[in-house]
Structure 1
């Protein structure tokens, strides 16, 4: 047997892609999702229990987050049994529904939070349509391209209808609500969908450069966003103290040490960190559970991403590959942006940490997105198992025929 770096690299690649394991992707997706959801509910309770929100009591966030978590997990297992054709039938419906919800944000049903108009509130219940738009676009764009490839061929004429008009419509309404963080996430999803659809990298780089110009202009036109950029660069000489949130988050992470202060023992969550239960919940997690707890959460996200990568790699179905890649980009890209934001690697953008941050609609949509990929993984494992069984039975049939002859 040949030894050296090449065989080792081949073995590592086989492990990464799950070549010799038919069911590993399923469990690598399901396990981290359940663990992250559980950690998120616990951390929302810990981070939000010290504040009375609107007189609803310390456990208001727990009741809301826990309810959405239970509903999401029930739907997760239900969706995990769906066939691909079910998503084909729902793709257009999901897209149209998400556009309608985004339009409703600018009616009297719309609700503004922290300067961003991106919520709908009806009968005491609130929902964030931009979260539904992410999931709808991931499923619909994959379906649209998979159908288009049947007639135009792989990698041809991708801009219509993925970017124009539907991708542009979603980005327009989200940007109209001044939610720049979600705009960036949608742009990432669109770029990955186009790349997986066969668009050349040079075109994507050119588009990214143009998009960067627009983001820069949008940032310069907003005094609040400019303050965040200045705070990221260390320019804190302003009456509003733009560095306060970031500095308090760093204090929380630093005081956690290796093992943390203990669950529920955070000091900075006592009104020192703005949005402690939402965008900056990772700092509270690091303070209470320490560096090891923070690394555990990061490891769960990496495992979830690896499971999704195995699903996308081990398929020949364009719909499965593109949808899985888009959802993986959404969840892992948003997690990276949030963690980089609270650790100072990026400016404060205002994106929640998937599964962990408070917010029922964000949690529900993230779980449902995993449910889509989980159904792919389940059917893929079944197909691979059937193929393996047929390959093993074929030689036996041939041997029996030869022995009879």
Structure 2
């Protein structure tokens, strides 16, 4: 494997210097991701299973949205009225103040979970979809595994403190991204600032997300708090064409959660930018060709290259072209991938970009190889016998 360490003149921006200003959140665990590219901007204890508090309600919501989308019989729609059980009414903490025996529409229950963080509403949904909350929790764990959430296990539908109820920050970020991507028709609910279900409980109508309405593009998703977990937030914000998702946990107060969440959003948008680095067909380097009619072949981008990069110049961006070489002429065919460009921004994961031959290199024929060898030998024996243009 050959490597060419480059300061790439063809990609002027890659020749510049970039680095993100270091950021260390006050949260005990955190995960920040650029939604469009999947680039992880920050991971702090991100894969440790922790008590997620009400943030785990996002999994309940995902399963409810999934059931709505799969319903073909009209048995689980936004207008379907579901019965409230005694088990649902018995939950404390954040609730919709539902009473056993009443029936509530699925739409109201969803808003009750998203805006009011209703523990009781989660149980009503769980019992409707799985019969019991315990059965629903087992389904949540199984579905999470199928979605790639490998550090999540659920003991209930709402995040009420219970042994074995755990999620990692990365898993919470993953389910947030899937809610946004898979169910855009329901996602606007997360930006609603208030929902008044019971006029007798008018004080309990405001969304606890501290970022909504601040003008920084925040439009979701879910707060959480227990004594064990501290204060946390799964958030998302969109500015221009960029969206970021972030998860914070372990903060000491609601005020600290609000301050840190806003700080994270500003940092993610101001310290990183989507940067166009080259158009399809841009030549990045030349690779050596063995026994070919030409000694090298150009290496070009197969498609436009745009990366999320830090914006503050501090250290040179590392980039390298690697290929197995010298490349045999029979493999130097226009449009064939023969190399990789590896770009490693400081503090961010590396990106590997395929590079392709810009033209086909014909192999040397037998006669051509013999003549070339003969000229080489003749030049060594008697340089004057070879024309000056060939002997020089």
TMscore range, shorter length: under 0.3
Q: Which has the higher helix share?
A: 1
- TM-score normalised by structure 2 residue count: 0.23
Q: Which has the higher strand share?
A: 2
Higher relative contact order (CA 8 A, sep 6+): 1
**Larger Rg belongs to:** 2
- TM-score normalised by structure 1 residue count: 0.22
